[in-house]
Structure 1
């Protein structure tokens, strides 16, 4: 690998940071969607 190729690759720890960021955003989002769907089902019964 050339030196410029190594510089273009992200650090191995950055993948973990990206995964944690997605969890920090995705989990509350999914909880909100689930709660909304549960309330919508009750509303349309």
Structure 2
């Protein structure tokens, strides 16, 4: 294996950016799922 084939560790700040991106996508998604489930419960009563 050549020296150029070694993986380089990502910068420490990139982990925070990834976490922020997941929150930016995940929170609205969870809110939408929660709202849909609440409306479905009312619909099937």
Q: What's the TM-score, normalizing by structure 2?
A: 0.84
Bigger fraction of residues in helix: 1
Aligned residues: 41
C-alpha RMSD over aligned residues: 1.4
Gaps of 5+ in 1: none
- Per-residue deviation, residues 5-34 of structure 1 (Å, max 9, x unmatched): 5x6100000000000000000000000000
Q: TM-score, normalised by structure 1?
A: 0.84
Flag structure 2 segments of 5+ consecutive residues without an equivalent.
none
